[in-house]
Amino acid sequence: MRSTRGLRIRPVKALGLLALLLVAGGSSIASPVQATDFEKEVQAAGERGVAYLSKIRTIDYPYYRRHPLHELQALALLVWDQPIDQVRLDQCLSRMNDLPWDHTYNVAFRACVYALLLEKNPDDADAFARLAMAAKFLVETQLASGQWGYGLGYLPGGQGYLKGQASARIVDEQVAAANAKLVPYGREVRTSANALKGRAGRLTKGTHRLVRITVDGSIRGRIRDGDFSNSQIAALGLAAAFGARLRIAPDVYLGLSFPPETVERAIRAWTEAQNADGGWGYDGARKPSYFSMTAGGLFALKACHGLGEKLAAADTKKLAEVLRQVGPATDKAVKWLEAAYSVEANPRVTDAWPEDSPSLFHFYALFSLERAATMSGLAKVGDRDWYGEGARWLIKAQVEDGGWPEETVTRLEGQESPDAKRARRDIATCFALLFLKRATSRIVPKEVATPGGARNP
């Protein structure tokens, strides 16, 4: 096309040219304005959601002990580029650290929180210590099948199993390792013995329920039931932790170690359980494929592939073998998502849970979609703008006070107290905020992204 620079265009012709440009599909004049308006809507929705999280009170209710509400709130506050309500954030951090470190979901999301805290302050030895402990927990509670279960809190006898396992010594060791081994951006961290003792003393408050776990001990054998819900969130926590290691100081961040076998087992679990249609169900006993599990499987395989490529030099043929299986498996998963795609429900969930609603775990499904698409570098799922459609649905669904409606759960779980019901609303709000901010690109840095796919901005 000839350039019009320097040409004098008469007013009538100019108007005609403008009309042609506006009528033509994908007008270069209209699109930037529309994009700006949409971005403003997303930003406004996010600001209202963050304000909602800053206002809500903390509920000391048993529902929180096995649901990562405090972790999700802290994560949502950290990923949004808003002035952080430090009091509210500190409240979330304090409360989540007071609770036992025994549930896969909680610990995996804690890893994400500590990774972001380290991004903001690489000298934060406390955050490093807790990140290292979260990574250790996830590595050592992986089942022999390669899956993760709900964690130690669901062992026979529940919390009673943790009695008497004092952990102040573990915290001391982790903080010492952080000070001795962490060299953020090439600057050595030095501290006196008294300062180290003081820091360890502060850390021991509320951490008495941490446990030392050994790979060859009895714990893994006692956690028998794994599923792909816990497994996809465990993959998120490991990717966040490993990403922090690569981003801050890859050669000296020795407190975070990842055996290649962890990645190998995880990839095998996902690829061997993939259904013929390309999707995944909840677990081996509940096989029908549905959206949140299939999106979660796509994310987990991509994340494990990224981890595996960084660890391959340290291992061997086994890891290389399973890495070759990821491409075909993820291609099939993408095709499944394209066929079942919707942002208005959790597609095909009633195939697995026939007595429940199509919106069962809908907000969780949106967060699963965001993780899968971001990690895979997908601007679209098929010909659908997954982010634009999902964000518009969330903007429309946002409640007047800035939060989102409560997450739909199974009929049995829905018979709860008002506090538990409100807690599920707060969880839905956190998932909505994480989707709107494309949080995965912050939680899992590009250093862990699988090569070959451009990450979303």
- Quote the strand ranges of 285-362, DSSP E: none
Give the residue ranges of DSSP H helices in 249-315: 260-273, 291-311
The whole model's pTM is what? Answer: 0.79
Exposed e or buried b per residue across 424-456, where buried means at least 16 C-beta atoms within 10 angstroms of its C-beta: bbbbbbbbbbbbbbbbbbbbbbeebbbeeeebb
Q: How does DSSP classify residue 343?
A: S
CATH topology of domain 35-120+231-448: Glycosyltransferase (1.50.10)
Backbone angles phi and psi of 375, in degrees to 5: -70, -25
pLDDT of residue 346: 96
| Cβ-contact 427, 53 below 8 angstroms | no
pLDDT of residue 58: 56
State how far the Cα of 145 lies from the Cα of 262, in Å rounded to an integer: 10
| The length of the chain, given as a count of residues | 457
pLDDT of residue 315: 56
- Where along the chain do its domains lie? 35-120+231-448
pLDDT of residue 382: 96
pLDDT of residue 318: 79
Q: How does DSSP classify residue 455?
A: P
pLDDT of residue 225: 72
pLDDT of residue 245: 72
State how far the Cα of 251 lies from the Cα of 297, in Å rounded to an integer: 30
State how far the Cα of 77 lies from the Cα of 49, in Å rounded to an integer: 10
From the first residue on, what is the mean pLDDT of each consecutive set of 10 residues in the chain (457 residues)? 35 35 38 72 95 74 67 94 80 78 86 90 76 80 87 45 35 47 33 39 30 35 73 95 71 59 93 95 86 97 90 70 92 98 96 89 97 95 97 97 87 67 88 97 80 41
pLDDT of residue 249: 52
Structure tokens at 189: 């961290």
pLDDT of residue 27: 38
pLDDT of residue 126: 75
| Cβ-contact 299, 375 below 8 angstroms | yes
pLDDT of residue 424: 84
151 bridge partner residues? 103
Identify the CA nearest to 226 among candidates 296, 151, 304, 302: 151
Structure tokens at 112: 């994400």
Structure tokens at 357: 């609603």
